[in-house]
Chain A
């Protein structure tokens, strides 16, 4: 009787450990991207909130890098999804090699990636972005590509500064908008315009309209 009980207790412990491991595994599945092993979108938004909150305590800005491979759809269509996936994994590996251990590289889905760089300024993230861009010229990808084709990336940067009244959403949008601008400007480049975006987050539509009203009208109104 007692013997049996003891055995089941051991079993229980083993089972608990197994469950724990399973939990860890499930958790990692929830937060990582299966193909590349980078963090996923869910993790990204969680961490973005953590890091922006941290800037308020430390006073140090935090930056965000938005990346999108150029013409990736074309590569997928012409070379097939297998090669496409290989490229994405390779690219993820390159990101991991370049970023600091404290940064978070995330795959958003498709060929869209984000990197959160805690305690960094635009100059530091610009350096990382430049290195990523340069790394694509390396031989890493050539086995997959036909002669003469190459992979390039468009990049948008944004900086979150604790004193600014910027929401997490507008921080994210700023990086994304800069990425879009880089695409529009002809791809394979880095955009990091801060000012216009700050303008658009600080000034609301009513104020914008008032500002762009011709002076004459305003002065006339004042005098009435």
Chain B
């Protein structure tokens, strides 16, 4: 195990593209390879990992932000085999947390040990909070689909991270596609635009097939990967997990 965990963020620019769904399934796939994984629900506005997993946390990131708890004390184990630092949604002053509080949460995450990989599931938009969590990660995983608004938002996110913060380490997961061929086409499209206008390439982490299994597993508060391990979707998540593991090996 590395001294310092590899910190990744899952982001998109647009909401409802499958960030959270991908996060918990990839985390579960990684956990199956006997890695210690922590997922942090950084979507302070619409936190919903707890709901997707059917857990009812007694303490959340909000308690940490307001100084009532330490980050270590809110972490719970999940059925997916990974740990979770949950958030609570609907706390209205959380969506735009004060700068210092975000900084405090960030440094607490940075100081955590005992994990191989920490995955930050971010909220929608290119808000301050989302940018801050993306900055904490050494690599940003962008979930995209074929919709123009989604591609444009993802590109906006990449551009801001690159031009404002000089980040150029992005990996793409193409979600809700009919085939791998379609995923590669979409990836090639956005990659060629990044190369042309920003001067660097993105890397490709994999794709997730469109399947009602996603909606069903969310409804029943199960993890698709574990509920239907033979499905193509589960295979997709295992492939993505293998790719991520290879980053970890190169991680200093």
Q: Which residues of A contact B (CB under 8 A)?
A: 58-61, 121-123, 159, 161-165, 194-195, 198-199, 202-203, 206-208, 210-213, 215-216, 218-219, 221-222
Is chain B's binding surface mostly helix, strand, loop or mixed? helix
Interface size on B, residues (CB 8 A): 37
Complex Cα spacing A219 to B186, Å: 9
**Chain B stretch 185-200: residues in CB contact (< 8 A) with chain A:** 185-186, 188-190, 192-193, 196-197
B186 to chain A, nearest CB (A): 6
Complex Cα spacing A188 to B152, Å: 31
Q: Residue B34 at the A interface, CB < 8 A?
A: no
Q: Which residues of B contact A (CB under 8 A)?
A: 13-14, 92-93, 95-96, 98-100, 124-128, 131-132, 146, 148-149, 151-153, 155-156, 159-160, 163-164, 185-186, 188-190, 192-193, 196-197
Neighbour of B148 across the interface among A59, A211, A221, CB < 8 A = A211
Neighbour of A199 across the interface among B92, B127, B131, B156, CB < 8 A = B156
Once the chains bind, are B189 and A163 in contact (CB under 8 Å)?
A: no
Q: Which residues of A contact B100 (CB under 8 A)?
A: 59
Complex Cα spacing A164 to B13, Å: 13
Q: Which residues of B contact A60 (CB under 8 A)?
A: 98-99
A-B pair number, CB within 8 angstroms: 86
Complex Cα spacing A203 to B153, Å: 9
Complex Cα spacing A49 to B53, Å: 46
A182 to chain B, nearest CB (A): 20
Once the chains bind, are B131 and A163 in contact (CB under 8 Å)?
A: yes
Complex Cα spacing A126 to B132, Å: 24
A123-B96, A161-B128, A163-B128 in contact; A215/B189 too (CB < 8 A)? yes
- Among A161, A215, A219, find the residue whose CB has the most chain B CB atoms closer than 10 A: A215
Across the two chains, which residue of chain A brings its CB closest to B99? A59
A123-B92, A219-B189 in contact; A202/B159 too (CB < 8 A)? yes
Complex Cα spacing A215 to B189, Å: 6
Is chain A's binding surface mostly helix, strand, loop or mixed? helix
Neighbour of B128 across the interface among A162, A199, A202, A218, CB < 8 A = A162
Neighbour of A218 across the interface among B93, B127, B155, B192, CB < 8 A = B192
Complex Cα spacing A123 to B159, Å: 27
Across the two chains, which residue of chain B brings its CB closest to A59? B99
A162-B128, A203-B155 in contact; A123/B93 too (CB < 8 A)? yes
A41 to chain B, nearest CB (A): 28
Q: Which residues of A contact B132 (CB under 8 A)?
A: 163
B40 to chain A, nearest CB (A): 20
Once the chains bind, are A195 and B160 in contact (CB under 8 Å)?
A: no
A56 to chain B, nearest CB (A): 11
Q: Which residues of A contact B188 (CB under 8 A)?
A: 215, 218-219, 222
Closest 7 CB pairs of A and B: A121-B96, A59-B99, A202-B156, A161-B128, A215-B185, A215-B189, A218-B189
Once the chains bind, are B185 and A219 in contact (CB under 8 Å)?
A: yes
Complex Cα spacing A163 to B193, Å: 24
